[in-house]
A and B are shown apart, each in its own frame.
Chain A
Amino acid sequence: MVPFYAFIFLPFIFAIIVPFLYKYLNRQIHTGWFVLLVPLSIFIYLLLYIPSVAAGETYRYTLPWIPTLEINLTSYLDGLSLLFGLLISGVGALVILYSIFYMSKEREALHNFYVYLLMFMGAMLGVVFSDHLLVFYGFWELTSVSSFLLISYWYERRSSRQGALKAMLITVFGGFGMLAGFIMLILMADTYSIRELIANLDVIQNHELFLPAMLCVLVGAFTKSAQFPFSIWLPDAMEAPTPVSSYLHSATMVKAGIYLVARMTPIFGGSSVWFWLVAGVGLITLLYGSLTAIRQTDLKALLAYSTISQLGLIMCLLGVGSLAVYFGPGESGTVFTVATFAALFHLFNHSTFKGSLFMVVGIIDHETGRRDIRFLGGLMQVMPITFTIALISGLSMAGLPPFNGFLSKEMFFGAVNEVSQAGIFGLGSIGVGFPIIAWVASIFTFVYCMIFIFKTFGGRFRPEKLTREVHEAPLGMLISPLVLGALVILIFFFPNVLGKLILTPALTAVLPMMDVTPYDLKISAWHGLNLELLMTFSVIIFGLLLFKTAKRWIVALRGFPQGLMLSHWFNRGIEGTEKLSGSLTNRYMTGSLRHYLIYIFSFFVLLLLSSLLGLYGLHFDFSQDAPIGFFEAGLVIAMIIAAITVLMAGNRIIAIVALGAMGYMISMFFVIFRAPDLALTQMVVETVTTVLFLLCFYHLPKLKKNIERISFKLTNVIISLAMGLTVSLLALSANGHKLFEPITAFFENAYELAGAKNIVNAILVDFRGFDTLLEISVLTIAGLGVYLLVHQRVKRRESNETE
């Protein structure tokens, strides 16, 4: 067969062609028709793999990328990635078909839309088929980026941009966490391959980085899959066009986290932290999502929270299923294997019904111009087909027979009931909480499904509240939800076809240590009168009661204070961080040079003094010092007097002259210490600088020129004293340490080597001529700089005068 990565890259390659198709052919044919070919061909290609994967085969292809760093595009195909690959390409094909009718050919920037969508599809396929951790991460971030682009597709809307930014911040935060986790995994097992990680389990599980790696990976999974409390980005991402919401935010991207958890189950599963985090967070998300969904009046927001809640359910099931790793093959292990199976089953079911529900909302939005249930109602008569689809998918979401949601919900109840009796990881006392929370959340789920169906389609038809002439959607728009709706029913009646062909191999990928046979995992619609069925019945009864009385209590729920919402806290947090960093920057970046000098000098003193004292560098050795002569002592005293005069000078002229005196005394020092060249140069240079200082002084502006003494500031005194002390200590300690012989002996041969009796000059022009070359360059540049500064100003002044 064709090497596998060809199909990962097909969407990317096609994305390059899309703009050309749009430019030259869009007037005749909607660009979407061409794009449709991509997921369709991938879907068909993946279908061909089903028989061999169901027979237990796996495929692995490697495309070298950076072979020296062992980074290769390794694609790996097993049951789990095949399940996801089919979902991505299948739902992708349906969504693109739907978008052909949803997105206007004339009004929308279709090339952008399809390029982003194809990028996303390719990235998502890359995520599920990658075996290499870093390549996995690369594709993972690409899904975040392309999802960011898709959410902000209508970028002229403020809410779109905000939603996109929020999604980006949260998912990329999680992505970085995941990367950290991956790097720890790589460090532990010294391999990049997920396959080999699983093979090296014993090394990883006894490593001290095991727990941090797990937490980091989970942060990535939870942010991507919108688990509590990272779920806040998903409702805001509903600003995207509806096909995008349907594809990304129900069927694929939000399941990337699920995929990650499922992939990592063989590695991390079996530990109590993993169980409690995955199952616990999943359960909380389930309850939180279903409770919040009821409050919503916007249909898309309702579906967003319901997605959060359903993802929580799947996550919870995966957590419960990880107990199978703990128990290993055996009777109780098999019980929890069924939970993982239920997770995969519900994952598939959720993609079908949630995809079609989003498309239904898109149709309603498209045909009525409204998405708010307070304006909608009675659409049943006008849009019978849409209503049928909504009913099928909605009841499946609520977990009613004869739809596939019923089967997976029953298995979910079965799993949580088993957990309450597992008796490990401290489950004995609070294990009973699992079925109770699951049951309560299911009631809420039932209620919001009823709200979704009957507030929009039931009741009185009020055309005066709608902005458009309402009629049934065009056929093209209905095909995709019809296909998904048909799947919902088909899977209920023939669940074992799906179970045997796709879900069982996926299960063996999640729990490779369990040898499962399709016989163990027979899904049956009727499995006897047991606790699960009773729970479903009570869910229906309580749900109906609550729905009937909804008017009384839903107000209380909607009145839930804004201040307690997670999203509110997130926004406050972002604002707070910006303010904090702003005020922090303003506090130290004052713009005052004096402050910056204080920072620089304090750090200098701090670093040098602490290292001098801390590293025992402070000891003096005066034995080698030359005796102090009469001239030196006199000059030093004179220089000290000159220096103090500079500091205490009442006006600038005195300071300048005192500075000049200092300079001449330095040249005297050069004379005493037998450096005639230096003395000559110092003398001339000092003269020139003094003259320049006087020039500057002459040019000081008359305004505000106040001749007064330097004001006394304690900080300045302390810092300058500390600075002087540090440098003196440093020089004195360095003086006593001659580590090796100086190289002056070499330069004493200047006459033989360079033909020069003046050693200084020989060094300057011969031995170290390169320094001199650059110094004269510096000098010339300084001269040109002065020339430019002066002449630019003159020119500017002239041009101002002519204006």
Chain B
Amino acid sequence: MKPNDVILRSVTRVAAVIILTFSIYLFMNGHHHPGGGFIGGLSTASAIVLLYLSFGIEKVRENIRLDFKKLAAIGVLIAVGTGMAGVVFGQPFLTQTFGHVDLPIFGDTELASALIFDTGVALAVIGTAVNIILSISEDR
């Protein structure tokens, strides 16, 4: 008989959203406050792991159709790509720039190319962490 873990699932439904939001906050906030790609990625991964724990691997896989190995690879590629962008503009490898843009809703917003780099970091961390945990948990 399957155990009835309705409480766990209900809590997870709410908690996952909160964790994901928090991790996005950590990630976006990293430029000016504690946080950043690494910790943001890890907390995203923890949200995904929580989903796996409560709903089972098969169900989550149906809904999140992502190959996390590829995700990690894409992350690394993005990071390398931002580095190459500097080279294209005649700057040394991995030169980052930033600028202030007046966006309609957000007002005066600072956009930094480092954020793209950080996205790469975050994707790589998410991909790796979920990949490791999935691999080990499938090893039965």
Q: Which of the listed residues A677, A680, A776 has the most CB atoms from chain B within 10 Å of its own CB? A: A776
A755 to B97, CA, bound (A): 8
**A769 touches B (CB below 8 Å):** yes
Q: Which residues of A contact B114 (CB under 8 A)?
A: 754, 756, 762, 765-766, 769
- A window 462-490: CB within 8 A of B: none
Q: Given the interface contacts A765-B118, A773-B94, does A786 sit within 8 Å of B131 by beta carbon?
A: yes
Q: Which of the listed residues B69, B110, B124 has the most CB atoms from chain A within 10 Å of its own CB? A: B124
Q: Given the interface contacts A755-B110, A758-B33, A780-B124, does A765 sit within 8 Å of B129 by beta carbon?
A: no
Find out whether the CB atom of B38 lies under 8 angstroms from the CB atom of A782.
no
Find out whether the CB atom of B34 lies under 8 angstroms from the CB atom of A676.
yes
A793 to B138, CA, bound (A): 12
Q: Closest approach, in angstroms, between the C-beta of B76 and any C-beta of chain A?
A: 5
Q: Which residues of B contact A794 (CB under 8 A)?
A: 138-139
Find out whether the CB atom of A784 lies under 8 angstroms from the CB atom of B69.
yes
Q: Which residues of A contact B32 (CB under 8 A)?
A: 756-758
A693 to B70, CA, bound (A): 26
Q: Which residues of A contact B98 (CB under 8 A)?
A: 754-756
- B window 64-96: CB within 8 A of A: 69, 72-73, 75-76, 79-80, 83, 93-94, 96
Q: Which residues of B contact A681 (CB under 8 A)?
A: 38-39, 42
**A707 touches B (CB below 8 Å):** no
A780 to B68, CA, bound (A): 10
Find out whether the CB atom of B33 lies under 8 angstroms from the CB atom of A756.
no
- B99 to A, closest residue via Cβ: A755
A755 to B100, CA, bound (A): 9
Q: How many A-B residue pairs have CB under 8 A?
A: 131
- Across the interface, B43 reaches (CB within 8 A) one of A684, A755, A791, namely A684
Q: Which residues of B contact A776 (CB under 8 A)?
A: 75-76, 79, 120-121, 124-125
Q: Which residues of B contact A684 (CB under 8 A)?
A: 39, 42-43, 46
Q: Closest approach, in angstroms, between the C-beta of A406 and any C-beta of chain B?
A: 85
Find out whether the CB atom of A680 lies under 8 angstroms from the CB atom of B34.
yes
Find out whether the CB atom of B36 lies under 8 angstroms from the CB atom of A783.
no
A695 to B80, CA, bound (A): 34
Find out whether the CB atom of A790 lies under 8 angstroms from the CB atom of B138.
yes
**A688 touches B (CB below 8 Å):** yes
Q: Which of the listed residues A762, A765, A790 has the most CB atoms from chain B within 10 Å of its own CB? A: A765
Q: Closest approach, in angstroms, between the C-beta of A98 and any C-beta of chain B?
A: 71
Q: Which bucket holds chain B's interface residue count? A: 35 or more
Q: Which of the listed residues B38, B46, B73, B127 has the most CB atoms from chain A within 10 Å of its own CB? A: B38
A793 to B73, CA, bound (A): 23
**B132 touches A (CB below 8 Å):** yes
Q: Which bucket holds chain A's interface residue count? A: 35 or more
Find out whether the CB atom of A758 lies under 8 angstroms from the CB atom of B128.
no
- B139 to A, closest residue via Cβ: A790
Q: Closest approach, in angstroms, between the C-beta of B53 and any C-beta of chain A?
A: 11
**A24 touches B (CB below 8 Å):** no
**A712 touches B (CB below 8 Å):** no
**B112 touches A (CB below 8 Å):** yes
- A682 to B, closest residue via Cβ: B39
Find out whether the CB atom of A757 lies under 8 angstroms from the CB atom of B33.
yes
**A777 touches B (CB below 8 Å):** yes
**B31 touches A (CB below 8 Å):** yes
Q: Which residues of A contact B127 (CB under 8 A)?
A: 780, 783
Find out whether the CB atom of B79 lies under 8 angstroms from the CB atom of A787.
no
- B132 to A, closest residue via Cβ: A786
Q: Closest approach, in angstroms, between the C-beta of A701 and any C-beta of chain B?
A: 14
Q: Closest approach, in angstroms, between the C-beta of B67 and any C-beta of chain A?
A: 11
- Across the interface, A758 reaches (CB within 8 A) one of B31, B46, B135, namely B31
Find out whether the CB atom of A765 lies under 8 angstroms from the CB atom of B39.
no
Find out whether the CB atom of A783 lies under 8 angstroms from the CB atom of B72.
yes
Q: Which residues of A contact B11 (CB under 8 A)?
A: none
- A window 724-771: CB within 8 A of B: 754-758, 760-762, 764-766, 769-770
**A636 touches B (CB below 8 Å):** no
Find out whether the CB atom of A677 lies under 8 angstroms from the CB atom of B72.
no
- Across the interface, B131 reaches (CB within 8 A) one of A758, A769, A787, namely A787
Find out whether the CB atom of A777 lies under 8 angstroms from the CB atom of B96.
no
